[in-house]
Amino acid sequence: MSSSPSPAAPGAQTPAHQAAPAGVSAPTAPATAPFTALGLLPALAQAALSHGYDQPSPVQALAIPQVLAGRDLRVCAQTGSGKTAAYALPLLQQLLPVLNAPRAARERRATRVLILVPTRELAQQVGEFLYLLARRCADPLRLAVLYGGVSINPQMLALRGGAEVVVATPGRLLDLVDQRALQLDQVAHLVLDEADRLLDLGFADELQRVLALLPQRRQNLLFSATFPAALDALIAGLLHEPIDLALSPTEQAAPDIVQRAIVVDEARRTQLLRHLIETEGWTQVLVFVATRYATEAVALKLQRAGLHAASLHGELSQGKRSEVLQAFKDRSARVLITTDLAARGIDIVRLPVVVNYDLPRAAADYTHRIGRTGRAGASGLAVSLVTAAQESHFRLIEKRQQQRVPREQVDGFEPTEVATPEQATGGIKGARKSKKDKLREAAAQATARPR
Ligand code: AMP
């Protein structure tokens, strides 16, 4: 990593902890005090401050002391609540003694911290955040960010001298282990970011393989905004005497997201979307659809109508995926049409509007999708387009959210369609398996079969 001031000695006291002697006016608390009060060293607190974090968010205030104490955690905190720093800051601090040891004492840069994430975009985002933090407070740290869809060679090169911190998607991580580019037998801290996604069927096989490569004794940290009850047994088996940090609405500000539901006929959704963008003056809007094909079809129609729209999906090259997401973040594209690829973890600063053009399959995905707006204390708007066929499914989502969203009609777009009896009583119960999930399951069964 590039050079930066060396970190403060571990155990250094902060003046904020010391009472002023009688008769002496109390020194002004340094700006870093809220973070040092959680047990973070001044260098780490300063890094948070330089990142623009004046105060710890509620999840940071609760989790940081526990991570420093080495506890296993399951942290359920709302989208956009600052979970990345809640594990990144204390884990970097745990690494400081290793980083400060004389070089000769470290036979190689063993991987101590492994952060698993479900998507390439999230790997890049978490990697960038850690890189910036470490540059400020843990200079000699080597960090590797590993994800698929790009050439494996630069990642193998980056791992040559070892890396103390690895951020990875499971598939590429295993490819690199198979190629002997890294070993995981000295990992002391495992983070599952978007843990419920990593623990569900789609990743089960890969995750089990990764876990088998890790030492038994390690700290396990699970973070997500949703933990379906079906995962409880699996999680209990993974964690050792865990602390459950489920931030209740009183402990954390509920994301300030206004939810709206507009009823409309299926074939008129694109026109309605265009109408809303123009009449409501939406400057930046993230639109979720059900398929890769739909991302391109809807984007094309909006482009023809003169809107700067782009599509993001898993069949694009990784270079193109990064370019499109960056263009949207830079606001050079006004509308981004995407699949659930962008539903988890992606942080688009002050994104004002999210639209569910198609509803998500699982209620948990609804939480993650709308959580792309209303982040870090900002307010946001989430609009769902509800067709007659999807009405019963939306009711199911409302039930899981324990929130009723009034149905609206827009003049000129009043629906005429009526649900079939099956649609009216059906709804989609929980998560249906995606094509990718089914393929992974088939592959897992094939490898499990005795030869
Ligand atoms: P995360 O949940 O980690 O993706 O963070 C959501 C957003 O909150 C990101 O834009 C962070 O930069 C921001 N954030 C995280 N912690 C803080 C904090 N203590 N103060 C201000 N913003 C924060």
| DSSP per-residue string spanning 401-414 | HT----EE--TT--
Q: Are residues 241 and 112 in the same domain?
A: yes
d(CA 15, CA 27) in angstroms, rounded, equals 8
3-state secondary structure of 220: strand
Provide the CA 291 distance to its chain's centre, in angstroms. 21
Distance in Å, CA 447 to ligand 1 centroid: 41
What is d(CA 315, CA 321) in angstroms, rounded to the nearest whole number?
9
Among 251, 266, 282, give the residue marking a domain's end.
Answer: 251
Residue nearest to atom 21 of ligand 1 (CA): 53
> By C-alpha distance, which of 388, 396, 389 is closest to 363?
396
Residues 212 and 137 in one domain: yes
Which backbone phi and psi does 207 adopt, to 5 degrees? Answer: -65, -40
With respect to residue 450, please indicate whether it lies within any of the assigned structural domains: no
Strands (E), 71-171: 73-76, 113-116, 143-146, 165-168
**174 within a domain of the structure (yes/no):** yes
> Of ligand 1's atoms, which has the minimum distance to the CA of residue 48?
19
Give pLDDT, residue 99: 82
User: Quick one: 212 exposed, middle or buried, by C-beta within 10 A (0-12, 13-18, 19+)?
Assistant: exposed
**Under DSSP, is residue 175 helix (H, G, I), strand (E, B) or coil?**
helix
Residue nearest atom 5 in ligand 1 by C-alpha distance: 82
Q: pLDDT tens track of the chain, all 451 residues? A: 433 333 333 223 323 333 333 334 445 667 778 999 999 999 999 999 999 999 999 999 999 999 999 999 999 999 999 999 999 999 999 998 888 777 655 557 899 999 999 999 999 999 999 999 999 887 788 999 999 999 999 999 999 989 999 999 999 999 999 999 999 999 999 999 999 999 998 899 999 999 999 999 999 999 999 999 999 999 999 999 999 999 876 666 678 999 999 999 999 999 999 999 999 999 999 999 999 999 999 999 999 999 999 999 999 999 999 999 999 999 999 999 999 999 998 999 999 999 999 999 999 999 999 999 999 889 999 999 999 999 999 999 999 888 999 999 999 999 999 888 888 876 544 445 555 556 555 655 554 443 3
Q: Give the strand pairing for 243-246 and 73-76.
A: parallel
Give residue 333's pLDDT: 97
User: Both 264 and 398 in a single domain?
Assistant: yes
Q: Looking at the structure, tell me whether residues 62 and 190 fall in a common domain.
A: yes
- Residue 322 inside a domain? The answer is yes
pLDDT at 109: 86
State the distance from the centre of ligand 1 to the C-alpha of 274, rounded, in angstroms.
31
- The CATH number linked to 185 is 3.40.50.300
The rounded Å distance from CA 376 to ligand 1 centre is: 5
Whether 199 contacts 192, CB under 8 Å? yes
Separation of CA 209 and ligand 1 centre (Å)? 32
Question: Which of 50, 57, 126 to mutate for ligand 1's pocket (most ligand atoms within 8 Å of CB)?
Answer: 57
At 246, list the tokens.
Answer: 């489920």
Q: What is the pLDDT of residue 1?
A: 40
Query: How many structural domains comprise the chain?
Result: 2
185 and 309 housed in the same domain: no
- Ligand 1 centroid distance, CA of 80 (Å): 6
| Structural domain that includes position 360 | 256-419
User: Is 84 inside a domain boundary?
Assistant: yes
Amino acid in position 346: I
Let me know if residue 277 belongs to a domain: yes
What is the distance in A from the centroid of ligand 1 to the CA of 158? 28
Residue 3 lies in a domain: no
Q: What distances in angstroms separate CA 257 from CA 250, 357, 361, 381, one per listed residue?
A: 16, 17, 21, 5
Q: Which of 251, 282, 309 is the last residue of a domain?
A: 251
**Which ligand 1 atom sits nearest the alpha carbon of residue 79?**
2
Mutate to test the pocket of ligand 1, among 84, 87, 122, 349 (most ligand atoms within 8 A of CB): 84
Q: What string of DSSP letters covers 70-81?
A: T--EEEE--TTS
Domain presence at residue 447? no
Same domain membership, residue 55 and residue 148: yes
Q: Pocket around ligand 1: residues whose beta carbon is below 6 Å from it?
A: 53, 55-57, 60, 80-85, 347, 349, 375-376
Q: Which two tokens stand for residue 261?
A: 């539901």
Q: Can you give the pTM of this predicted structure?
A: 0.86
pLDDT at 100: 79
pLDDT of residue 311: 98
- Are 229 and 265 contained in the same domain? no
Query: For residue 20, what pLDDT is reported?
Result: 35
- Phi, psi (5° rounding) for residue 254? -60, 140
Do both 243 and 262 map to the same domain? Answer: no
- Helices H, strands E: what count in the chain? 17, 14
Last residue of a domain, one of 219, 251, 283: 251
Q: Based on the domain organization, do 375 and 294 belong to the same domain?
A: yes
Residue 180: partners with Cβ closer than 8 Å, 6 or more residues away = none
To test the pocket of ligand 1, the residue of 53, 129, 329 to mutate (highest count of ligand atoms within 8 Å of its CB) is: 53
- What does the alpha-carbon distance between residue 222 and residue 190 come to, in Å, rounded to a whole number? 8
Within a domain: 424: no
Outline where 330-434 has alpha helix (H): 363-370, 391-401, 421-425
In this structure, the answer to whether residues 164 and 228 fall within a common structural domain is: yes
- Residues 35, 86: one domain? yes
- Domain shared by 158 and 119, yes or no: yes
Instruction: Give residue 33's identity as a one-letter amino acid code.
Output: A
